[in-house]
Chains A and B, each alone.
Chain A
Amino acid sequence: MANLPIEDRLLHYFLAMGAQQTERAEIPQNNLAFLSGSEKIHVVILRNEDFIQRNKVFETILSLTSLRNTSQLLYLAAPRLLGASIDAAIFKPYGIGLLLFDERRIDEAVPPQSLQPTQTMQQKSPNLDPGVLTELATLRSMYAEMERNMATLREDLKTFQRDSESRTSTTEPTPSSRINRPESMFANPSFSSAQLPSFFANNPWLDVLSKRGRPGDEPIAG
């Protein structure tokens, strides 16, 4: 999960919250847009590499305000370090939601305020703690990623089994087959002597040695 780009992780996050992604071609880079019911959600991403450029931070935040007319819910997705360097509460009066992410998880530090307050995602389940909802969304996205990993692993396992079967059929007999050979050779008359080297043919020692450890097999001398 942590290896995925932040866009994909945010995508999983919002999909797990029940939102639907809109056409990606319509939105600029570092932006994500979703539909949740009749509300449009817009997410602007401040990347780790942009975070160290002060102008880029301001530009990202200002670009959010310009989206007021087109989206009901606005989110800034920023590295968790932003939460440590500024007071996240300053976003609240402006109705901008703040998502803080690190390599492990995504948390909603500040919920957004909708221009149509009756339709926010939080109001759909007013009895639930927002923290629980966030945790649930994170778990859902992790579960979706796990399912994808499982599917990949199943494919890898199938490929490995096919390879090992084809390799076994072309290599020498395994030790387990060697264990059964003396019995099977003498018990099964259809055992093909063509499968054995020429020095096996009419070799009296095969019969003598195969009786080792059985009653009547006494040492010649000793």
Chain B
Amino acid sequence: MGETIFRGMLDFGDAIVASVERCPVELQPMLYREVLLSGGNFSWVVPERLEDTAVDAPTKMKLLLRQKGIKNVSVKMTQSPQFSVWHGCIIYGFAVPENYEWDWQRLEGWMKLSG
């Protein structure tokens, strides 16, 4: 995230906290209430007969954040975890005007490398 390299041993709770703490303090409570999980691995479901042992990804996130003292949390899964990032890319590429050039402050826009 940014210039920070997350090592493999960092759990998702720490990753979420590190990400949120990069944002303005006023926004942090709202961000914890809008944690949205995306990615195929999050769509893992609890196998039969392991319901008393394992939990799904949103529940796991809530537990991890609770261990760090963050309680007012809402974690949801996107409707299609495998493809939602791709959907976002497509929506972004479709909607953002072609003449919207890259902005280093906002860290978005079209970066034209040639011509």
Interface residues of A (CB under 8 A from B): 178-179, 181-183, 197, 199-200, 203, 205-210, 212-214, 219, 221-222
Beta-carbon contacts under 8 Å, B64-115 to A? 87-88, 90-101, 105-106, 108-109
Chain A nearest Cβ from B20, distance in angstroms: 12
Which of A179, A183, A213 has the most C-beta atoms of chain B within 10 angstroms of its own C-beta?
A213
Interface residues of B (CB under 8 A from A): 23-24, 27, 87-88, 90-101, 105-106, 108-109
Whose C-beta in chain B lies nearest to the C-beta of A203? B91
Q: Is the CB of B97 within 8 A of A183?
A: yes
Tell which of B23, B97, B108 touches A182, judged by Cβ atoms closer than 8 Å: B97
Q: Is the CB of B96 within 8 A of A212?
A: yes
19 cross-chain CB contacts under 8 A: A182-B95, A182-B96, A182-B97, A197-B90, A199-B90, A200-B91, A206-B94, A207-B95, A209-B91, A209-B92, A209-B95, A209-B96, A213-B97, A213-B99, A213-B101, A221-B23, A221-B24, A222-B105, A222-B106
Tell which of A199, A212, A221 touches B91, judged by Cβ atoms closer than 8 Å: A199
Cα(A175)–Cα(B109), bound, Å: 17
Cα(A120)–Cα(B109), bound, Å: 80
Cα(A37)–Cα(B49), bound, Å: 107
Tell which of A200, A203, A210 touches B96, judged by Cβ atoms closer than 8 Å: A210
Residues of B within 8 A of A207 (CB): 95
Q: A199-B90, A206-B95 are in contact. List 11 more A-B contacts (CB 8 A).
A: A181-B94, A206-B94, A208-B95, A209-B95, A212-B95, A212-B96, A213-B99, A213-B100, A219-B106, A222-B105, A222-B106
Q: Is the CB of A199 within 8 A of B87?
A: yes
Known A-B contacts A199-B87, A221-B23; the reply to A212 vs B109 at CB < 8 A is yes
Residues of B within 8 A of A214 (CB): 97
Chain A nearest Cβ from B115, distance in angstroms: 12
Tell which of A182, A221, A222 touches B94, judged by Cβ atoms closer than 8 Å: A182
Residues of B within 8 A of A182 (CB): 94-97
Chain A nearest Cβ from B82, distance in angstroms: 13
Residues of A within 8 A of B95 (CB): 182, 205-210, 212
Cα(A199)–Cα(B109), bound, Å: 22
Which of B27, B98, B106 has the most C-beta atoms of chain A within 10 angstroms of its own C-beta?
B98
Whose C-beta in chain B lies nearest to the C-beta of A200? B91
Tell which of B91, B93, B109 touches A213, judged by Cβ atoms closer than 8 Å: B109
Residues of A within 8 A of B87 (CB): 197, 199
Q: Is the CB of A212 within 8 A of B97?
A: yes
Q: Is the CB of B98 within 8 A of A179?
A: yes
Chain B nearest Cβ from A60, distance in angstroms: 64
Whose C-beta in chain A lies nearest to the C-beta of B23? A221
Known A-B contacts A197-B90, A205-B91; the reply to A212 vs B23 at CB < 8 A is no
Cα(A179)–Cα(B94), bound, Å: 8
Q: Is the CB of B93 within 8 A of A178?
A: yes
Q: Is the CB of B94 within 8 A of A178?
A: yes
Residues of A within 8 A of B109 (CB): 212-213
Chain B nearest Cβ from A153, distance in angstroms: 30
